[in-house]
Amino acid sequence: MKKIKIGIIAVFVFLLPSIMLSQISKQDSIWKPFKFFIGNWTGTNEGSVGNGVYERSYKFIFNGKFIEVKNKSTYSPTAENPKGEVHEDVGYISYDKIRKIFILRQFHIEGFVNQYKLDSISPDKRTIIFITESIENIAPGWRAKESYQLINDNEFIESFELAEPNKDFEGYSKATLKRKNM
């Protein structure tokens, strides 16, 4: 009996690394579409607010369960906004296992909270589109769209569009970001 117990324990100890690795591999494979973004980025922006400079980071948090996105955009002074503007937001990408969809939640310094769901990933995996499910602290009916176009291993373009109630999306800003410390 003692030999059987030792044998079972030995088999379990032998298989445990494989079991653990398969769990990690499954978790890692879920994040495959977003691994490109992990790291620090800088870039420039043009749009309705004017021209700006971006600082952004993407990192895994909570044992790889979420991706945290921190963004700071500094816009140059314009005739309409002589002081310029600094915009900050923090976001979290999660995977909703029940709906089997990625969710992006953004918290903006102005008080907006956008909850997006993944709308599509192109067949070549180079374009990712999120569309809002809800936006807090804005009139009902508004929608937002974030699109990411991967240019190469160290560069992407982010387009942000807004839609008033019962209207089509219109471009609001477009940023080109490049990986820092390449």
Q: Residue 12 above 70 pLDDT?
A: no
Beta strand ranges found along the chain (DSSP E): 39-47, 52-61, 66-75, 85-96, 101-108, 113-121, 127-136, 143-152, 155-163, 170-179
The dihedral sign for the CA sequence 25, 39, 154, 100: positive
Contacts of 13 (CB under 8 A, 6+ apart): none
pLDDT digits (tens, 9 = 90+) for 103-135: 999 999 999 999 999 999 999 999 999 999 999
Residue 67 class from Cβ within 10 Å (0-12 exposed, 13-18 middle, 19+ buried)? buried
Q: What is the pLDDT of residue 1?
A: 57
Query: pTM for the whole thing?
Result: 0.81
Q: What is the pLDDT of residue 181?
A: 78
pLDDT digits (tens, 9 = 90+) for 52-101: 999 999 999 999 999 999 999 999 888 888 888 899 999 999 999 999 99
125 token code pair: 């995996």
Q: What CATH class is the domain 35-179? A: mainly beta
Give the domain ranges of the chain.
1-30, 35-179
Listed residue (38, 39, 31, 41) closest to 178, CA to CA = 41
